[in-house]
Structure 1
């Protein structure tokens, strides 16, 4: 299978990865902090994060991924969630880290959540796009997906793409493609900035706050091999690795345009005051 726009180094790194398999929260994740506020329930099918005045909580994947289609269903903190942030993201380590972010910024009861997205490459971020959602994310579980392949990163909600970040290395824009990343999630207090720029503070009488997770799926992903035998993400079935070169079709482009026209509330590529010397290269390059 050909991998356009991928360096030889990327392919060498990729060759030390193997196709991921399905599991449950006991198998795939470690609770990393929270002093018992994070819990794995229902035989590993459900994970909950809790947050009170003393502490938030979080977890991370046991595996590291280099490219993948990562799905997770979340049900966010209900009611008055002002000041809270539920973060769900991929990240590598080090000072020149890569990162792909979903962050859900809580709000007063009846006001919409803000879905905050960002992409870091080689330690550089400042690529925020923010959206309202077209449903109540606290009433039920919804699927939040990251497609990350050598050509693009696509953020999707319930299968609807909301953002695409293309590989523009040929234009001098760094793209995450060489560093494996773990999946992280946390629920924590950010009332100094999360809700209306920090004007609305966390109402501790509503604590504990709870976010819930289920149906993690990384079947279409490449995982760092922990054994001596390694294999690439290639297989005998080309269709099983179609995600490695997947791009948006015309229907997906239409859905992306619909979301960005009706639900996008901030786009760094339109913020000329923030970039008085000129917009970032990826914003002006088709």
Structure 2
């Protein structure tokens, strides 16, 4: 089902924000032994995976709240078994984390966008979506908005997931630990494609994801989605969500997590 270009995310209720970085010189290559490459005067980046190793980067700066945009062009063709991750994370066993994970596919099958949110080291808040376009044909913008009131994951300014601050209900919310921006590509064929049924075809390696248009803005502390954007979020859930932990009673026989009752 195609999506009209007019289905864009409306403006957030914004305060002033500060652009603190916008090139890949703001990142360190943390692993991959040459498989991560910063190119074009730090304007573009590629991360690659082969049978021996994947690769990854992390931002030099850490942030407490902000909006983070990255343009990605995902691995084309038969990418089954590969996982391309874009996420924010703090350090330590009780870390906070906000995840995009793009799960590879057999040629012709859609990518799965796997999302998760960790608070104080606890995750198990997975939601999964299909995309309304081919994410390997061109660059698309994937965004994380993190404020004191909400977390919003967006694709081309279309919100796909929101996790609101529900501390009043006893649900921990990430707001005390600063987080860095990370991205990586790695082999997840034990679970990524059809629950691990489809394994990585290493004859197609290296698998490469391309990046550009990185932007991080601090100063987003009080913003929330407006009603127009809430409507678009509901539309995405109705048409493109394929898994929601809050609907998985078999997984939580003692009762769904508290935030699912909001």
Q: What is the TM-score of this pair, normalised by structure 1?
A: 0.84
- Which aligned runs of 4 or more in structure 1 are off by greater than 4 angstroms? none
* 8 A contact 2:30–2:58 mirrored in 1: yes
Q: Structure 1: which 5+ residue stretches go unaligned?
A: 1-17, 222-240
Query: What do the CA deviations read for 1:222-274 (whole angstroms, capped 9, x no partner)?
Result: xxxxxxxxxxxxxxxxxxx4x32111112101110110000000000000111
Aligned residues: 246
Name the structure where helix makes up a greater proportion of residues. Answer: 1
Residue of structure 2 equivalent to 1:171:
169
Once residues 232 and 148 of structure 2 are traced to their aligned partners in structure 1, the CA distance between those partners, rounded to angstroms, is 22
Residue of structure 2 equivalent to 1:208:
206
RMSD of aligned C-alpha atoms? 1.1
Residue of structure 1 equivalent to 2:48:
50
Q: Who wins on radius of gyration, i.e. which is larger?
A: 1
Counterparts of 1:125-204 in structure 2, within 5 Å, are 125-204=123-202
State yes or no: 1:110 paired with 2:108. yes
Residue of structure 2 equivalent to 1:78:
76
How far residue 208 of structure 1 moved from its aligned partner, in angstroms, is: 0.5
Residue of structure 2 equivalent to 1:255:
232
State yes or no: 1:279 paired with 2:256. yes
* 8 A contact 2:19–2:215 mirrored in 1: no
Query: What do the CA deviations read for 1:11-34 (whole angstroms, capped 9, x no partner)?
Result: xxxxxxx955233112x1011111
Once residues 60 and 233 of structure 2 are traced to their aligned partners in structure 1, the CA distance between those partners, rounded to angstroms, is 32
Counterparts of 1:23-102 in structure 2, within 5 Å, are 23-26=22-25, 28-102=26-100
Q: Secondary structure at 1:107's aligned position in 2?
A: coil
* 8 A contact 2:189–2:199 mirrored in 1: yes
Q: Secondary structure at 2:65's aligned position in 1?
A: strand
How far residue 114 of structure 1 moved from its aligned partner, in angstroms, is: 0.3
Q: Secondary structure at 2:260's aligned position in 1?
A: helix
How far residue 54 of structure 1 moved from its aligned partner, in angstroms, is: 1.0
Once residues 25 and 94 of structure 1 are traced to their aligned partners in structure 2, the CA distance between those partners, rounded to angstroms, is 25
Once residues 52 and 22 of structure 1 are traced to their aligned partners in structure 2, the CA distance between those partners, rounded to angstroms, is 30
Once residues 176 and 258 of structure 2 are traced to their aligned partners in structure 1, the CA distance between those partners, rounded to angstroms, is 21
Q: What is the TM-score of this pair, normalised by structure 2?
A: 0.92
Once residues 20 and 129 of structure 2 are traced to their aligned partners in structure 1, the CA distance between those partners, rounded to angstroms, is 32
Q: Secondary structure at 2:41's aligned position in 1?
A: helix
